[in-house]
Structure 1
Amino acid sequence: MRLDKYLKVTRIIKRRTVAKEFTDNGRASINGRVAKSSSDVSIGDVIELHFGEKTMKVKVLNIKETTKKNESEDMYEEI
């Protein structure tokens, strides 16, 4: 699954267009490598997101094309 879509489906970022712009500006990395919006996300990957001074690190636990709001947090684990 594309990184921008994963961020939207998990509701880490609410809109896919915002997620695409966020990742294309080099503010996201997968397993320590800078990632673009089209980068593939796999189970077990560690995604690091830089929101200004705050950094969020999550581990991918599950990948689904769609999910309900209450199930979205089961798709990742904050590190």
Structure 2
Amino acid sequence: MRLDKFLKVSRLIKRRTLAKEVADQGRITINGLVAKASSTVAVGDEMTIRFGNKIVTVQIDGIKEHAKKEEATDMYKIIREEKVNSQESM
């Protein structure tokens, strides 16, 4: 599944267009490699997303084309969540 679609379906990012923008800015890595919106994600991949002042690392546990709100969190497991100083993220 495409990265931007996975982020939307799993509700890690609410809109697919926003997921594409974040990926295009180089703020997402999959297994240590910078990912584009069109990158393919698979079960077992480790993904790191840099939001404004925090970095979230998740492991992909499942892929579904559509997921209800209750099922969305079953698609991934949060491994790490780190706060970042605003000066470090620049």
Q: Which amino acid aligns with 2:11?
A: R
Corresponding residue of 1:45: 45
Mark the runs of 5 or more structure 1 residues left unpaired by the alignment: none
Question: Could you tell me how far apart the structure 1 residues matched to 2:28 and 2:53 are?
Answer: 13
1:50-69 paired onto structure 2 within 5 Å: 50-69=50-69
Task: Report the alpha carbon displacement of residue 52 of structure 1 after superposing the two structures with TM.
Answer: 2.2
State how many pairs are aligned. Answer: 79
Task: Report the alpha carbon displacement of residue 56 of structure 1 after superposing the two structures with TM.
Answer: 0.2
SS at structure 2 position matched to 1:78: strand
Task: Report the alpha carbon displacement of residue 36 of structure 1 after superposing the two structures with TM.
Answer: 0.3
Percent of aligned pairs with the same amino acid: 57
Q: TM-score, normalised by structure 1?
A: 0.98
Mark the runs of 5 or more structure 2 residues left unpaired by the alignment: 80-90
Task: Report the alpha carbon displacement of residue 10 of structure 1 after superposing the two structures with TM.
Answer: 0.3
Corresponding residue of 2:8: 8
Moved over 3 A (4+): none
Task: Report the alpha carbon displacement of residue 53 of structure 1 after superposing the two structures with TM.
Answer: 2.6
Q: Which amino acid aligns with 1:71?
A: E
The structure with the larger Rg is 2
